[in-house]
Amino acid sequence: MDALTKKCDKLSALRANVLRTTSFGTVAWERKDGKWTGGVKEGTAAVEQADGERIAAEARPNPV
* 13: CB partners within 8 A, 6+ apart: 28, 29, 30, 31
Checking if the pLDDT of 64 tops 70, the result is: no
- Domain ranges within the chain, ordered by starting residue: 2-59
Give residue-wise pLDDT tens across range 4-49: 888 988 889 988 877 666 667 788 889 988 899 998 887 766 556 6
**pTM higher than the cut 0.75:** no
* CA-wise closest residue to 5 among 24, 30, 28: 30
